[in-house]
Structure formats: structure tokens, C-alpha cells
Structure 1
Amino acid sequence: MDTSVARRWAPWALSAPALIVFLVMLLAPLALTTVLSFHTFDGIGTFSDDYSLHNYLEIIADPYYHEIFLRTLGLAAGTTVLCVIFGVPETLILTRMRSPWRGFFLVIILAPLLISVVVRTLGWAILMDNDGLINYLLMLFGIIDAPTRLVFTITGVVIALTHVLIPFMVISVWASLQKLDPQMAQAGLSLGASHFTVMRRVILPQILPGILSGSIIVFALSASAFATPAILGGRRLKVAATAAYDEFLSTLNWPLGAAIVLILLVANLVIILGCNRLVERRFKQVF
């Protein structure tokens, strides 16, 4: 074989094993789920052989599913906003710490990733119970007079998901900050710029890719989260993931559950790509 031809095909040959695994493990189940979503359920545990848009039309026409998807959107958006609000300043503070404190606090922030999400959610359920530590402290300091209901509410689910997913935001912003030259901020201050201006015109544009990457990860994971909404939200506070779970395992309506999953996937992609383009365009205009 000619040397030039071998060099041209070498990258494809080297990436072929990973590509095959990707096609088999991800795209094949996704394709089967797509095909399943176009079948119809007869109510007795079997599916028809014909194909139709019945499941999608049912989801579009039923206000019950509208409420579920709007709740999922609000849950994901709220979690993402809180992760940005707390994660970005937290990472900036970490980068300004000296060793060994920087490594110590970074381990503390990332340590929850080593614990099962179910265990962390159960811990939050204990903390947010009417007799839990959070309500006890709020009443101790006179902030509230009676226990505030946090379990089985969207507020409690957002708080728990923020704790579960904030390490992903920290990791993404941390990676961007490692590429930032500290001398650039010092140069801006020496030229008379305020700390706020240096943050807005020097630091923020350079860590924006990390913020966007972290936001995408957090939004996607929170929109598709199952364990935390199922435990803290209960049976009544359904989101898309728990609704699909019920259709698959409770009513055995697999085609409808597959349609819910695909709509969630498409909505995630559209929202993430749209927000990414919008934010990048706005920052290009500002900076």
C-alpha cells in the first residue's frame, strides 16, 4: 500500500474500535427506541406492528404532559442558574488559594462525586424533613415560625440537584481558569481599571467557554435526572424521566415512554444549542 494512502487512512483505522463501540452502545439503542416510539400500545401488554404518530400527538395534545415538560424545564433551568451563581465564584476563590488549602478545598468540593447520587439524595431528604436540620436552624434563628415544607417540592429537588451537579460546573470553570494568565488581570489593574472591569472585560470572556460547558452539562444532567426527583419529588411531582419510567415499568406502555424520552432528548438539544449560540453572540457584541 502507498505510504500516503496509509497515512490518510491511519486515523480512521485507529479510531475504528472506539467508533464501533459508540455506534453499538449508543446509536443502536437510540435507533431502536426511536422505532419503538412509533408503535402503538393495545393496553394488554403488546404493541401493534403498524407505525403512527399517535404517541407524539397524545403528548402534544395532553396538558398533563405539558405540565411535566414545563416542570422539567424549570427544574433544569433553576439548577443551572444556581450552579453558575455558586460554582463560578467558588472556582475563582479556589484559584486564588495557596497550597495546600487549594487542593484540600478542591477535594471537598469534588468529594460528592465519589458518593452515590441516591445516598446524597437520601441525605438531603433527612436534612429537609419537617423535623430536619434545615428547618431546625431556620426556626432557631427566628427566620420561620413553623417548619417549611421542602420535601416533595420543586424547591427541595432544585436544592439537592444543585449540590449533586455543582462539581461539574466547578470542573469546567477550573479547566478554563488554568489557561488564564494571572498577569493579564494585574495588567488591567495597573492600567487603572477597576476590579469589576477586569472581571467583566478580562476574566469573564476567557472563562466563558468553561461556564457554557458547565451549564450544558448541568442542564442536560438535571433535565434527565431520575433518582433525585423520584426520591425528593415523590409520585406527584413528576418530571420527564420519572414519567417515562412509569410508562415503561408501571403501565407497560413502552412506545409512549420511548416517545417521552425522545422528546426530552430533542428538547435538550434544541435548548442547549440555541442558548449556546445566543450567549456566544451576545458576548461577541459586548466584548
Structure 2
Amino acid sequence: MSRARFAPAALSAPALLTLGTVLLIPLISVALLSFRGFDYDKGILPIWSLANYAELAGDALFYEVMERTFRLATIVTALCILIGVPEAIIIHRMAPRWRGLMLLVVVGPLLVSVVVRTFGWMVLLGTNGLLNQAMLAIGIPGAPFRLMYTELAIVLGLVHVMVPLVVLAVWASLGRLDPALARAAESLGAGRVAVLRRVVLPNIMPGIMAGALMVFCLSASAFATPQMLGGRRLKVASSMTYTEFLNTLNWPLGAAVATLLLLAILATTLLWTSLVERRALRRLGVG
């Protein structure tokens, strides 16, 4: 009996040990580093204090960067939902011979490096890029426009990267949806819009919310796309961390920025998860 009681822990121990080694130890090390002192002449000091967090608390640039980070992540999440949910529903309703091909087209960008895809957007959005050249050719007043190194460029790049995640999450929910529910609603006189609003969307909402959470967290912590499309002027939290680590060499301050970003993302995840659980309990009539 005792062996059976400890069997789950023994079986999960290798995975927990691996997870702790490759994930938790580096995160804890960064968090501890954020409490170290720093001097530009002596480097990292062997003292412990809250000086780095106090410096960030009084830094207006830090608040601006964090506000921009989460504002852009929210915009990207909303756009990905608006694009990805209809896309997943349309693909799900396609004939089987086209469904697999279209799903491959949607997921295909995930097989290409984020840096390569971002370089593609740089070619499109540059002053002499394809988009500006097209607007010049059709005679749009004011062209060429400054599209690179703007928040619009960052949003476009992140949406292109993140939309497949929403499509896959919603696709999984649609696969679990019983087709008989829609047919039953139609037999009772419901139109297509009513079926979509009152049958399909409530049942795939867990997939939508899971996809939204993934997109938000990854957008808030993205580095390559905001750095390449936003430049040095439009900093986000990840690029601010990069600057402190590799430009000013103030590792403790960079670690403090990274720790606060991680805590903010974790808080958002916990809040979002609690909302999802609360909604699920209401649907089940519990609580």
C-alpha cells in the first residue's frame, strides 16, 4: 500500500528534477541577482538591498516602458482573437480535402524563425519597401509613410507571429464540439448567426481564452520583433532588460526589470485563469 502511495511522486520526480534544473534554478538566480548592488567601477557588489527596485520605482522611463509593453500586448491579443477565431471556424467548416491544406498554410509560419519573418516585415514596411512603393504607385497622398520603428510595425509583426496560436487553440476546441448541437439549434429555428453566437462561441470559449492568454504572455515578453521593428526608441520591457544587461552592464538592474516583468505576467495569468474557472463553474451551475 505504501509503495502505491508514493508511486506517483517517484514517477514524476525525474520530470520535476529536470524542470527545476532547466527552468526554476535560472529564474531564482535572476531574482536573487536583482537584489545585488552595482557600481560602474567595481561591477556587481556583494551586498543585498532593494536599491534596484527603488531606482525603478522612481524611474519614469520604466513606467513608460511597462505601459507600452502591456498596451501593445493587449492590442495584439485583441487583433489575434478577431483574426484567429473566424479563421479557425472557416477552416473547420471547409471540405476535408481543403481543410488540411489551409491548416498547413496557417501553421506554416511557425516553422520559420521569428527573426526571418520580422526581416520580411522590415522589407515590407521600410521607406522604400514594397508597401510604400505600392502606395506611391497608386498615388496615395503623403506616401511614402514612416512605418518602420513605430508601434504599428510592432503590432503587425507580433500579430503575424501570434495568430497561429489562437487558430490552433480554437481549432482544438472546435474538434471537441459536437456537431449535433448546431443541427439541433437549427432544427429549432435558430439562424446561422444565432447558432454561432449562442452555441458555437460559448463552447469554444475555453480555446479562445487559452489562445488569448498564450498570445498575451508571449507578446508581453517578446524581444526580437519589438527590437527589430521598434528600434531603440520604442523600448519594451524585454529590450530594456537587454539594454541593462549588455549595454550598461548593470546586471542587477536588468534582473530587477526581468523579475518585475515575470511577476506581472504571472499575476495576469493567475487572474485570467481564475476568470476562466469562475466562468466554467457558472456554466456548470456551481457557485
Q: Does the TM-score normalized on the shorter chain lie above 0.5?
A: yes
1:210 pairs, out of 184, 201, 207, with 207
User: What is the rounded CA distance, in whole Å, between the counterparts of 2:92 and 2:269 in structure 1?
Assistant: 28
Measured in 2, the distance between the counterparts of 1:193 and 1:244 equals 53
Give the RMSD, CA atoms, in angstroms.
1.9
Cα deviation per residue 1:26-67 (whole Å; 9 max; x = unaligned)? Answer: 111111111100011111252222211111111111111111
- Is contact 1:130–1:149 with CA below 8 Å preserved after alignment? yes
Are 2:255 and 1:274 equivalent residues in the alignment?
A: no
Aligned twin of 1:146: 143
The alignment covers a number of residue pairs equal to: 284
- 3-state SS, counterpart of residue 217 of structure 1: helix
Is residue 30 of structure 1 aligned with residue 18 of structure 2? no
- Provide Cα deviations, 1:241-283, integer angstroms capped at 9, x if missing partner: 0100010011110000000001001111212332443466568
CA contact (8 A) 2:206 2:276 kept: no
Distance 2:52 2:40 in 1: 13
Gaps of 5+ in 1: none
The residue correspondences of 1:248-263 to structure 2 (distance < 5 A) are 248-263=245-260
Which residue in 1 is equivalent to 2:5? 8
Q: Which residue of 2 aligns with 1:242?
A: 239
Q: Does 1:95 align with 2:92?
A: yes
Percent identity at matched positions? 49
Using the size of structure 2 for normalisation, the TM-score is: 0.93
8 Å CA contact 1:45, 1:253 repeated in 2: no
Whether 1:79 aligns to 2:76 is: yes
1:8 aligns to what SS in structure 2?
A: helix
Task: Identify which range, 24-33 or 7-16, moves more after superposition.
Answer: 7-16
1:65-214, aligned counterparts within 5 Å? 65-141=62-138, 144-214=141-211
Secondary structure of 1:203's aligned partner: helix
Q: 1-side partners of 2:166 and 2:39: how far apart? A: 44
Q: Distance in 2 between matches of 1:275 and 1:100?
A: 37
8 Å Cα contact 1:157/1:233 also seen in 2? yes
Normalised to the residue count of structure 1, the TM-score between the two structures is 0.93
User: Larger deviation: 247-256 or 191-200?
Assistant: 191-200
Q: Bigger CA drift: 132-141 or 259-268?
A: 132-141
Tell me how far apart the structure 2 counterparts of residues 132 and 265 of structure 1 sit (CA, whole Å). 36
User: Which residue number corresponds to residue 43 of structure 2?
Assistant: 46
Partner Cα distance (2:203, 2:52) in 1: 45
Rounded to whole Å, the distance in 2 between the matches of 1:272 and 1:204 is: 22
Once the two structures are TM-superposed, the CA of residue 133 in structure 1 deviates from its matched residue by: 1.9
Aligned 8 A contact 2:153 2:229 in 1: yes
Deviations 1:158-216 (A, max 9, x none): 10110011111111111111100111111111111232222222111111111111111
Q: What SS does structure 1 have at the residue aligned with 2:123?
A: helix
Q: Which moved more, 1:117-126 or 1:204-213?
A: 204-213
